[in-house]
Amino acid sequence: MELLTPALQTYPWGSRTLLTEMRGEPSPSATPEAELWFGSHPAAPATIGGVGLDEVIADDPADQLGAQVRGRYGDSLPFLLKILAADSPLSIQAHPTAAQARAGYEGENAAGIALDAPERNYKDPNHKPELLVALTPFRALAGLRPAKQTLDFFDYLDCPELTRYSAMLHSENEEEGLRALFTTWISLPRPARVEVIEGVRACVDKRAFDGVPGWMREAGRCFVELDDAHPGDVGVLASLLLNFVELAPGEALFLGAGRLHAYLSGMAVEIMANSDNVLRGGLTTKHVDVPELVRITDFSTMADPRVDAEADGGVCAFDVPARDFHLTRYELAAGDGFDAASAGPAIVLCTSGSVDCGPLELNPGMAAWIPASDPDARVSAAGGSAGADVFYARVGE
């Protein structure tokens, strides 16, 4: 086992307190701290002894990855582990399938678009399914809400600016109706979009939201919050179509390819395929490619994006339909531990308490890299510790 030092990403939506306080550092931080990347993605690799994990793997892929992982994924780590800390909303976005990512990456390379160009959509040829597990109360918009529920919401708001679009959701084909409405809204000229948003805002402000399902009240509050932060933005309208989700610590959600989402606030552990491909649709100053986003979006609905995790005592396994990664959370009491050897590489991430990983002691926000060649890896609550929370990330089976 070796200490894995994360790459810090300082995006504007990040928190000045969540990551610093987790790591016991002075708070607030000088700049917003958004993500800690524990992986080998070339855009921001974690390091071992000052050397990028991507270089460590490239120097001896057989030792670091093992034959099984190399046979399936080549000479690269197939997952990226993060801690995400948001004080304000991220962009409304979706991620491509593997085939879409490969075609998009090759197409932009052929067009001569530099990897660091602001208009670049595809930074790598990989898909990006992602699993998020809350460390604090975590708020998100995740997946398209069933059309019937959205129509009920529109009816309750009784807003003429929405009524003129409701007919699209009465389509016999739910997916086509949602595609038509989303495409219409995201393509509106700004003056027309602002008119719709202002009309909806006036109706939301008038409603008491008494005697209606709680999700309607939260959807209304979210609309107002986004309108205050991003007035006139197309993402404010898009939020009316998405599930509002609030996760308690330990709860999780999973998003496969094409699922529209926007994380709003809170801190979480996130694991995904090793990719940085993002197609954005609003709530951002970054590049927005409307046609490409619509093309890769999955317009089927999700009643609830939460993951039913398999819990057994202090062990919680998050089984999701993604072979690139598997994540398990361990709540270790004093003296507890687990074997961390795997057929491939693994990462151990401490989020509370203190754990021993061979010669290393990990405190919150620290991680250890376990190469495939380490058959005796073990993790245990550190001596004298009252316990610890640990995430164990490895390649799926």
What is the set of active-site residues? 280
Residues contacting residue 113 through CB under 8 Å, at least 6 positions apart: 119, 120
Beta strands in 240-325 (DSSP E): 242-247, 252-255, 261-273, 279-282, 310-312, 315-318
Is 95 annotated as belonging to a binding site?
yes
Using CA atoms, how far apart are residues 260 and 268, in angstroms rounded to an integer? 19
Using DSSP's 3-state secondary structure scheme, residue 76 falls into: coil
Q: How many CA atoms lie within 13 A of 59 on its CB side?
A: 9
Residues facing 318 on adjacent strands: 327
Residue position matching structure tokens 């409405």: 181
Distances in whole angstroms, Cα of residue 101 to Cα of each of 107, 122, 127? 10, 7, 6
Residues contacting residue 183 through CB under 8 Å, at least 6 positions apart: 294
Using CA atoms, how far apart are residues 301 and 242, in angstroms rounded to an integer? 9
Contact 235, 226 (CB under 8 A): yes
Is 93 annotated as belonging to a binding site?
yes
Using CA atoms, how far apart are residues 269 and 389, in angstroms rounded to an integer? 12
Contact 64, 45 (CB under 8 A): no
Is 130 annotated as belonging to a binding site?
yes
Quick one: which of 337, 393, 382 has its CA closest to 360?
382
CA 137 to chain CA mean position, Å: 15
Contact 267, 19 (CB under 8 A): yes
**What is the b/e burial string over 74-102, where b = at least 16 CB atoms within 10 angstroms of the residue's CB?**
eebbbbbbbbbbbbbbbbbbbbbbbebbb
Annotated binding site: 93, 95, 130, 261
Annotated binding site for Zn(2+): 93, 95, 130, 261
